[in-house]
């Protein structure tokens, strides 16, 4: 099973080929939009395996953690400190 990264416009322009690759070769595609990972395309068989196999779920979870954007603007204010101001 192979995982590829594809731009959303490329996926849109070649959607039939992407679906064929997903179904026939069990390729997974991470779709990026504006250079940020937004979605994953996988076959129904792959999805079913993901639902029933905990090690496969962990692999996907790890991959999502690596690809997901991290937003961290500003500081976190604790509730107790906020009430003292």
pLDDT at 44 over 80: yes
Instruction: Report all structural domains of the chain as residue ranges with CATH numbers, in order of start.
Output: 3-64 (3.40.1620.10)
Q: Which residues pair with 32 in a beta bridge?
A: 7, 37
Span 47-72, pLDDT tens digits: 888 888 888 778 878 877 777 665 55
Task: Write down the H helix ranges in the chain.
Answer: 8-13, 15-25, 44-52, 54-67, 79-83
Q: Quick one: pLDDT at residue 21?
A: 96
Return mean pLDDT, the chain. 83
Q: Quick one: pLDDT at residue 49?
A: 85
What percent of the chain stands above pLDDT 70?
Answer: 80
Burial of 19 (0-12, 13-18, 19+ CB in 10 A): middle
Q: What is the distance, to the nearest Å, from the Cα of residue 36 to the centroid of all Cα atoms in its chain?
A: 10
Average pLDDT of 13-40?
93
């Amino acid at each position: 099973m192979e995982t590829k990264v594809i731009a959303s416009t490329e996926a849109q322009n070649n959607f039939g080929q992407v679906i064929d690759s997903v179904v026939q070769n069990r390729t997974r595609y991470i779709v990026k939009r504006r250079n940020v990972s937004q979605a994953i395309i996988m076959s129904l068989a792959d999805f079913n395996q993901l639902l029933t196999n905990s090690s496969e779920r962990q692999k996907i979870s790890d991959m999502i953690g690596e690809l997901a954007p991290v937003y961290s603007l500003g500081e976190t204010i604790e509730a107790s400190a906020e009430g003292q101001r």
